[in-house]
Amino acid sequence: MASSSSSAASGGRVAGTLALRPVAAAAVAASLIPGLPDDVAAVILCLLTFPDQSRLRATSRAWRLLLSAATLLPLRRSLRLPRRHLLCLFPTDPSLASPILLDPAAPTAWWPLPPLPCSPQFYGLANFAALAVGRHLYVLGGSRFDARSFPLGHPSPSAAVYRLDLTLSRHCWERLPDMRVPRGGFACAFAPSGGVIVAGGGSRHPTFPSNGSRTSSTEWYDATARSWRVAAAMPRDRAGCVGFVAHGAGEDGEDEFWVMGGYDGYTTVGGVVPNDVYCRDAVALGLWSGKWREIGGMWEEGERRRLGPVATLSANDGRVTEVYMIDGNDIFRYDFASNRWLKEATTRRKILETESCGFVSMNGELYVLTSGKVPVEVSGPWRQLKKKLALEFQVYNPRAKKWRVLITHPPVDAPIDFRTAALCTVEL
């Protein structure tokens, strides 16, 4: 193990097997933590929670260098530390309400991000996709209202794409080239090449849950060329679907982009009330062959009405290993061999039919999120109970088959409707 004196002599700091970039002579001369070898100090700092790391970057130039994402991620990997994810929550229209980050290791500390650039013409953005690819956070598409359109009050899909670099000290959204086809409520996943692939979608807005267009188009974003490229369209139109990349799921171990669930049409009940026709099947696009293959129905008639929220678990190399779905109070695991959903567990606290819930995976666990106001005691000369917004996490570990519950208070004013909110995870 190298000491601080040996690090200073070499002109840079060494942590584990990773050589950090050289800093100023004054920063090199001092230890990261006085009295400790730099290797030990680097391990201590990289094990801190994300809110603590963000606050401590201003301590010194050496700490700012070490706690930057460009240095921290390779350091954690060289030390073989487990992957750590943050939850990124978009409570509502991201141009009006700031997205917020939460480290599960510190559930009481939320970290706000800047809102999207606001437009005087567009409002009410919903059904957009949020996705983290490496150090970048993407916000794609969605359905919104245009104050210049006629007649007023009719939603239209968006093709806008924004990206935020989380490694910069000053976070600022960057406008990327628009998608070729405007869409909202679509399947989205990161491509193995480092880009983003999208499929399906339409113009439906939560304000009008029975209207809207649908599309079958597929395209992917090349981050190197900074352009969108068209891929083969899906076999039929589909919107309200989810997507993920399954490594080695196709023939000869081909990586595939899977699209599940959604709706492809609607009928009317009694000739008056519109009713969606939900998809029970899935389709998969071979990322090498560029061809779609259809996968049969994932459940029998009458078993369930529609596909619920889906979350995927990944290995240390990022490969999707398991796919889970929550339906009511039950969690199901998808079996690729039989093309069926198998019951895995039941939530500890029942979720009412009138409640909406979020479903996401982080650090090898499944998180079921519900929002509501709970009474809390206010300190003062008179003890009073006031209702404060709370976010409850029911956390399930598929390996240990155990549950735990976390409660936190996010910095938002109104209960979160997870039918319109967006969730994603960020690895930092």
State the pairing for strand pair 242-246/256-260: antiparallel
Q: What's residue 44's pLDDT?
A: 84
Measured between alpha carbons, how far apart are the two ends of the chain, in Å?
Answer: 26
The DSSP code for 355 is -
C-beta of residue 184 within 8 angstroms of C-beta of residue 203: yes
> Got the DSSP string for 154-166?
--EE---EEEEET
Strand order in the sheet with 256-260: 242-246, 256-260, 282-286, 292-295
Q: How far is residue 247 from each of residues 83, 244, 254, 259, 288, measured CA to CA in Å?
A: 19, 10, 7, 14, 12
The tokens describing 195, both together, are 């880009």
Q: How far apart are CA 202 and CA 418, in angstroms?
A: 19
E strands present in 103-201? 110-112, 122-126, 129-133, 136-140, 143-146, 156-157, 161-165, 173-176, 187-190, 196-199
Query: Helices 38-46 and 69-78, interaxial angle, to 10°?
Result: 110
The pTM is what? 0.84
Q: What's residue 212's pLDDT?
A: 81
Q: Considering only CA atoms, give the Rg of the chain.
A: 23
Mean pLDDT by 10 residues, the chain (428 residues): 39 41 43 82 82 79 79 78 86 92 83 89 92 90 87 85 84 94 94 88 85 90 92 93 87 88 80 78 92 90 86 78 93 93 94 89 92 70 72 94 92 88 87
Q: What's residue 168's pLDDT?
A: 74
Q: What's residue 266's pLDDT?
A: 77
Sign for the CA dihedral angle at 294, 182, 287, 312 comes to negative
State the pairing for strand pair 242-246/227-231: unpaired
Q: What's residue 219's pLDDT?
A: 95
Q: What's residue 304's pLDDT?
A: 83
How do residues 22-37 score in pLDDT, each as one tens digit?
Answer: 433 334 446 788 888 8
